[in-house]
Amino acid sequence: MHRMLTGERPTGPLHIGHLFGSVENRVRLQREGVETLLVVADYQVITDRDDTGDIAANVREVVLDYLAAGIDPAAATIFTHSAVPALHQLMLPFLSLVSVAELDRNPTVKAERAASGRAMSGLLLTYPVHQAADILFCHADVVPVGRDQQPHLELTRTIARRFNQRYGDTFVEPVGLLSDAPVVLGTDGRKMSKSRGNGIELRATADETVRLVRSARTDSDRHLTYDPVGRPEVANLLLLASLCTGEGPEQIAERLDGSGALKALVGDALVAHLAPLRARRRELAAEPGLVASLVAEGNARANELADATLRDVRARMGMDYASI
């Protein structure tokens, strides 16, 4: 049986880019019988900012988004890594297995440093090692992630391999499931992103959704064509319509006249596609204590797994002093 670990930073509620890019994929894997662990990576929020925002509220929104999208809470372990002390302790031996030069080369970290507009912090440089602990503490063998996470996954595999070489077989080298899921653009034509405020949130209302779609950038060519490179904004709208309806983006472009008609279709299609999710989300959000008890259960299970892994790691490193 496979075990998947993936997750995100609680920097805000999830948007349709997350849904089409990754969350629908996780739901599918879980339904196929893959054991599912989802980390709400709260300590990762401070990699590129000083202010955590209302982190508890963001944890709640993310968990509601998972459940509304179809993650089965009875079968999934949803946890916040700050509540799992043994996980963090794995970072010490893991740090000893990588060089600063290797950490310096990580293109995702470089891009995040540049976007943050500040100096490289010790945590920003080393969080990929921490992310390896997120993955290896539970011996996950599959990690569904977007392409930007590929360097972190390679590092995780390197750490698992080096640990095994030095101390004996302990960790499986996890395999990344790189989604070829589309990169969804935001209303401003740039990649949809929580921090850019250009997204359509899963929790948004139908009216907001229609309004946001209507405000999306397009170009001045009235004739619709599906050309992701030459006409990214129009192609993005066609893609969204296609993801919701199953009709090919080229076909949609052929039968519609102008971007106004396209926006009307995308608005309606998104509202219809998201309606069941949003109805479920409203019900879940109204249940008092639901998210808190789910996260408490997930944290308890994650602690059991992390404690067992840390015990094993220390024993393999010769740090077992019971019969000294």
Radius of gyration of the chain (CA): 21
Nearer to ligand TRP, 34 or 266 (CB): 34
Of the candidates 170, 88, 185, the one whose C-alpha atom is nearest the C-alpha of residue 134 is 88
Cβ at position 143, least distance to ligand TRP in Å: 5
Cβ at position 171, least distance to ligand TRP in Å: 14
- Exactly one of 135, 138, 235, 284 binds ligand TRP (CB under 6 A); which one? 135
Cβ at position 236, least distance to ligand TRP in Å: 21
Q: How far apart are CA 69 and CA 207, in angstroms?
A: 20
Q: Name residues contacting ligand TRP, limited to 26-65 (CB under 6 A).
A: 39, 41, 44
Could you list the beta-strand ranges (E) of 50-157.
Answer: 76-80, 142-145
| Total of chain residues touching ligand TRP, rule CB under 6 A | 14
- Exactly one of 5, 64, 181, 212 binds ligand TRP (CB under 6 A); which one? 5
- Exactly one of 23, 67, 90, 145 binds ligand TRP (CB under 6 A); which one? 145
Should residue 136 be labelled a site residue for ligand TRP when binding is judged by CB under 6 A? Answer: no
Nearer to ligand TRP, 134 or 233 (CB): 134
Nearer to ligand TRP, 39 or 277 (CB): 39
Should residue 8 be labelled a site residue for ligand TRP when binding is judged by CB under 6 A? Answer: yes
Q: How far apart are CA 188 and CA 197, in angstroms?
A: 9
Should residue 185 be labelled a site residue for ligand TRP when binding is judged by CB under 6 A? Answer: no
Nearer to ligand TRP, 29 or 143 (CB): 143
Residue 204 and residue 212 in contact, taking contact as beta carbons nearer than 8 Å? yes
Residue with tokens 């539970």: 138
Should residue 9 be labelled a site residue for ligand TRP when binding is judged by CB under 6 A? Answer: yes
Contacts 24+ apart (CB under 8 A), 146-150: 146/21, 146/22, 146/178, 146/179, 146/181, 147/178, 147/179, 148/108, 148/111, 149/108, 149/176, 150/108, 150/176, 150/178
Quick one: which segment of 142-150, 160-168, 208-216, 278-286 binds ligand TRP (CB under 6 A)? 142-150
Contacts of 228 (CB under 8 A, 6+ apart): 235, 236, 239
Using CB positions, name the residue nearest to ligand TRP: 41
Quick one: which segment of 64-72, 82-90, 130-138, 215-223 binds ligand TRP (CB under 6 A)? 130-138
- Sketch the per residue contact string, 89 through 128, with ligand TRP: x for CB under 6 A, - otherwise: ----------------------------------------
Contacts of 86 (CB under 8 A, 6+ apart): 137, 303, 306, 307, 309, 310
Q: How far apart are CA 214 and CA 228, in angstroms?
A: 19
Through-space distance between the first and last CA atoms of the chain, rounded to whole angstroms: 38
Should residue 179 be labelled a site residue for ligand TRP when binding is judged by CB under 6 A? Answer: no
Taking residue 98's Cβ as centre, other Cβ atoms within 10 Å add up to 17
DSSP 35: E
Residue with tokens 């894997």: 29
Strands 175-178 and 142-145, bridge-based pairing: parallel
Cβ at position 87, least distance to ligand TRP in Å: 10
Return residues touching ligand TRP (CB under 6 A).
5-9, 39, 41, 44, 131, 134-135, 143, 145, 149
